[in-house]
Chain A
Amino acid sequence: MPDTHLPIIACHECDLLQREILLRKGDFATCSRCGSVLYRNLPESLDRTLAFSLAAAVMFLLANTFPIFGIELQGNRMAMNLVEAVHSVWNQEMKLIALLVLITTVLIPAFEIIMMIYLLMSLKFQRMPPGANLILRMLQSVKPWGMVEIFMLGVLVSLVKLSHDFIIIPGVAIWSFGLLTVLIAAVAASFNPRDIWINVERETGREVSG
């Protein structure tokens, strides 16, 4: 039964107004008309997301330091890490492609991980960090442009293509990228911006549902 103490929410995909319901841990509420997910109740969202973010930061550093993989042909060897690969493509006069790859696989994931750690660390110490509103807004708008998981598939496709003509030497970063993909997915699955807004409301003294 709808509880009239709970706030009203509008579906962001069909704009239908509906009253919130209380959720058990791990459940999510969907729009009664179009079925889109309205909000989730994620247990220990803050701690889990922070843990995944810190692990992702370590993996990100490894993934960008070591070579992804190397190839060998008649004694000639080539191996490079992601930034070196971007640099090489830049020097081949494919500057737009180099920029696109740099932004989607290095800059945006780095931005997301750093901002997530900053935000969640501050909340962990019981305070709203300065600029939290702006950061959450930016995190939301850059989200579709972080493409580590697609890059990972690209690495695998490249490996198979190259295995025809070259001897492949897997690098450390190929494993790091694999783990980074999983960790970034885990961050996205455990992060619940709703918790942060509820925090804001508590501080400003408005009544909200948990």
Chain B
Amino acid sequence: MSAVEVTAAELGLCSCHVCALVSRPVPGGGPSHCSRCGSTLHSRKPASVTRSWAFLIAAYILYIPANFMIMMSTGSLVSFRSDTILSGVVYLWVTGFWAIAIIVFIASIMIPILKLIAITLLLVSVQRNSTWRPEQRTKLYRLVELVGRWSMLDIFVVTLLAALVQMQSLAIVKAGPAAVAFGAVVVLTMLSALYFDPRLIWDPLHKERKL
């Protein structure tokens, strides 16, 4: 048999989230500080599930204007067009910029959707004390943290184009209201993932053993 798996929390220990020193918090319930680096000690991120949900729900709400409002308007002497995120990708595709269309599709459409679904799944499973595939769920969390930032790509593109293409009647690019909403979705989902505590995924395994 393999060695018994014990978590720090089960032994009343706390691992510092800054310097990783394992120590025993001062009994009595008041805030304890790490003896090595002085950070406040938390066994789990405080109010992790509540905060993570709050940011996630806000992100869901803003996801709607982000996708249905105008992201970018492009005008020139001969043409004028306004694009949402999706129509912008379609336009890139039909005008032959396949590689760019795929990059923008992944960063602006696929990653945000998968991220919203993934964090929802993690939060629901944690709230139901699920013991289902903790390792896979931890990997999912790691993936969300790793790729979530890349959605910011479109914000940078819109900024550069809107700043640079300002030639009065010849050519003009303007950022639309969806840019703000989309930027907010990226920031809110990042905050939601940051407040989520992956150790909560593993806690039900230990509660089960105690019964």
Residues A101 and B159 in contact in the complex (CB < 8 Å), given A10-B22, A76-B167 = yes
The yes or no answer to B8 lying at the interface (CB within 8 A) is: yes
Chain B residue numbers with a CB within 8 Å of A86 are 159, 163
Contact A76 B170 (CB under 8 A): yes
Chain B residue numbers with a CB within 8 Å of A182 are none
Could you tell me the dominant secondary structure of chain B's interface residues? Answer: helix
The answer, among B5, B100, B156, B171, for a CB contact under 8 Å with A155, is: B156
The size bracket of the interface on B is 35 or more
Give residues of chain A (12-64) contacting chain B, Cβ–Cβ below 8 Å: 12-17, 33-36, 39
Binds A, one of B34-42, B51-59, B112-120, B121-129: B34-42
Contact A78 B164 (CB under 8 A): yes
Work out how many contacts link A and B, with CB atoms closer than 8 A.
193
Contact A151 B156 (CB under 8 A): yes
Which A-chain residue is minimally distant from B88 (CB atoms)?
Answer: A161
Q: Which of B145, B163, B190 has the most CB of A within 10 A?
A: B163
Contact A92 B15 (CB under 8 A): no
Contact A158 B161 (CB under 8 A): yes
A201 and B134 CA atoms in complex are apart in Å by: 34
Which A-chain residue is minimally distant from B179 (CB atoms)?
Answer: A97
Contact A144 B194 (CB under 8 A): yes
- Closest Cβ–Cβ distance, residue B37 to chain A (whole Å): 5
Q: 3 closest Cβ contacts across the A-B interface?
A: A154-B156, A10-B15, A85-B163
**Which residues from chain A sit less than 8 Å from chain B, CB to CB?**
7-10, 12-17, 33-36, 39, 68, 70-71, 73-74, 76, 78-80, 84-86, 88-89, 92, 94, 96-98, 100-101, 104-105, 133, 136-137, 140, 144-145, 147, 150-151, 153-155, 157-158, 160-162, 164-166, 193-194, 197, 200-201, 204
